[in-house]
Structure 1
Amino acid sequence: MRLPSVMSKKRSTKTSRARSKAFARTAATLAASRVKPAVLVKRDTRFTEVIALIEAARGRAYQAVNAELVSLYWQLGEYISRKIANAEWGDGVVEELATSLARRFPGLRGFTRPNLFRMRQFYEAYRSKRKVSALLRQLRWTHHLIILGQAKPAAVREFYILAAIKERWSSRELER
């Protein structure tokens, strides 16, 4: 019985020494690589305008990508809705579409069977609301999923869309 406990102490001592050495190396590396605070502040103030331009462009790019994705999801929802309404497709065909998309675009996420049906639900919820459909591209897809999942009446969904746009709610704020 004593032998295993002695060995376990040796192992834990070796492990703790190795951890201490690794921690010391990391701390030394961080300390050596630090820039003096005065230099850092000076650089930030000198390049504030450039940084602001980059951040603004990045924000516009994210908005453009999100608007295009919402537009794509609207179009896919319309297509799926039309095919199912005309009795050309059933639930099984949507599953086949999801599988086909996964094979064709291996790294592309978000086109599973449940998501394709959410796109259909998204289209069907707003297709007759011209006022709302013009605003849809201003919100991210996550916002739409939250609103569709939690607000059933059309008037309530419209209220939350308008409020989320006006108040610039994050998805977490919208969930509350």
Structure 2
Amino acid sequence: MPTPATTAPTAATPLLAEVRQLIDAARQRVASAVNAELTQLYWHIGRRISAELLQGQRGTYGQQVVAELARQLTADFGKGWSERQLHYCVRVAEVFPDAGILHTLCSQLSWSHLRLVIQIEDPLKRDFYLEICRVERWSVRQLQERINALLYERTAISKKPRATSGWPPPSLCSRRVKPCRPSCTSPSNWPGKSCSATPIQRSEFSNFRDT
């Protein structure tokens, strides 16, 4: 009589756990590499558009350039190249004129994180969210919620930025830039900007409030 085949264990084994970890780690590296490459692509596109807009003194000319470019790119590459996306590209190049700084940031934050932060006009406020988001490893949703809940406005930093010890940290000082002048690429002029995330509870940011 033939011996019954041995049934493989269904419970997680050390081998299965290790292989899962290898797969998950590889996925994370690929996602990080793709995010960094796309973010740098957007930066280069934004810098090139900015150079073109400066030649035409922006204004109505800039709006026409961006609109036509968006139309042509959408025809060539499909969705993902709207006027709004091109405005984001220009903005990220304006906020981070140093490609090296952006390269460091996009290794820690996704394009979706950066897209939220670059809409903030105040440089100190922008640096605050970049730094705390990086350190606390917030998701995009968490970042949006804290911006909506006015986390920065509730801190001592926003009320007395120069008197607050240790802020901004040295890592942020090098990327401080002057606010961009209002133009067709300024977030204040972008259409349809709205936030729908649910505000977080006061207790969640008690450590950041002014005493």
**What's 2:42 paired with?**
73
The 1:131–1:67 alpha-carbon spacing in structure 2 relative to 1, beyond 3 Å, is: closer
Q: Bigger relative contact order, structure 1 or 2, given CA contacts below 8 A and separation 6+? A: 2
Q: Does 1:91 align with 2:63?
A: yes
TM-score, with normalisation over the residues of structure 1?
A: 0.68
Q: Does 1:140 align with 2:110?
A: yes
The 1:142–1:61 alpha-carbon spacing in structure 2 relative to 1, beyond 3 Å, is: same
Separation in 2, partners of 1:96, 1:162 = 36
| Stretch moving more, 110-119 or 44-53 | 44-53
The 1:160–1:84 alpha-carbon spacing in structure 2 relative to 1, beyond 3 Å, is: same
Stretches of 4+ aligned residues off by more than 4 angstroms: 129-132
Contact 1:132 1:158 in 2 (8 A): no
Q: How far apart are residue 170 of structure 1 and its match? A: 0.4
Root-mean-square deviation (CA), in Å? Answer: 2.4
Instruction: Figure out how many residues of one structure are paired with residues of the other and give that number.
Output: 135
Contact 2:35 2:106 in 1 (8 A): yes
Q: Does 1:122 align with 2:92?
A: yes
Contact 1:78 1:123 in 2 (8 A): yes
**What's 1:54 paired with?**
23
Q: How far apart are residue 54 of structure 1 and its match? A: 0.7
Residue 110 of structure 1, aligned match among 52, 62, 80: 80
Q: How far apart are residue 134 of structure 1 and its match? A: 4.4
What residue ranges of structure 1 are gaps of 5+ in the alignment?
1-37
CA-to-aligned-CA distance 1:69-120 (integer Å, 9 cap, x gap)? 11011111101111001118631121111111111113xx321011101211
Separation in 1, partners of 2:133, 2:77 = 32
Bigger share in helix: 1
What residue ranges of structure 2 are gaps of 5+ in the alignment?
1-7, 147-211
Contact 2:40 2:103 in 1 (8 A): no
Contact 1:70 1:136 in 2 (8 A): no
Separation in 1, partners of 2:27, 2:69 = 33
**What's 1:167 paired with?**
136
Matched residue SS, 1:41: coil
Q: How far apart are residue 68 of structure 1 and its match? A: 0.6
TM-score, with normalisation over the residues of structure 2?
A: 0.57
Separation in 1, partners of 2:118, 2:71 = 25
Of all paired residues, the percent bearing the same amino acid is 34
Matched residue SS, 2:11: helix
| Stretch moving more, 88-97 or 73-82 | 88-97
Separation in 1, partners of 2:14, 2:43 = 44
Matched residue SS, 1:47: helix
